[in-house]
Amino acid sequence: MFLIPGNSLLLLITFILAIPLIALATYPYYYLRKIPESKRLTASVQIALPGMILDIFSVIYFNKVFLNLHIDSLPFFAAWLLWAYSLILISGFSIKTKSD
């Protein structure tokens, strides 16, 4: 119900809401697993890569896997997946600040 072609506002909200959703999934994972900042990029790749590989098939067989989504929403679905995986990978980068 959230990938409706032609409903730009709902699509935008879906993409924006992915930001805190990914943050709520990744940062506690890093913390609970005690992953140091120097290893977070590797961890983010390990989180994202299996899903990216599996989603190749979910995109190819979209109309069989996601029966409730119209085929017209496939480009938005694929774009949202890329966005979400990008956010996961970005979460692995540390923000270094200079301390004076």
pLDDT digits (tens, 9 = 90+) for 23-32: 999 999 999 9
Closest CA to 23 of 7, 1, 2, 44: 44
**Tokens representing 50?**
């299996």
Q: How confident is the model at residue 97 (pLDDT cuts 50, 70, 90)?
A: low
Place of tokens 């119209």: 70
For the segment 1-23, the average pLDDT, to the nearest whole number, is: 87
Q: What is the reported pTM? A: 0.86
Closest CA to 85 of 12, 3, 18: 18
What is the share, in percent, of the chain residues with pLDDT greater than 90? Answer: 72
**pLDDT for res 100:** 45
Q: Are 73 and 5 in contact (CB under 8 A)?
A: yes
Distance between CA atoms of 36 and 28, rounded to whole angstroms? Answer: 12
**pLDDT for res 4:** 74
**Tokens representing 91?**
């979460």
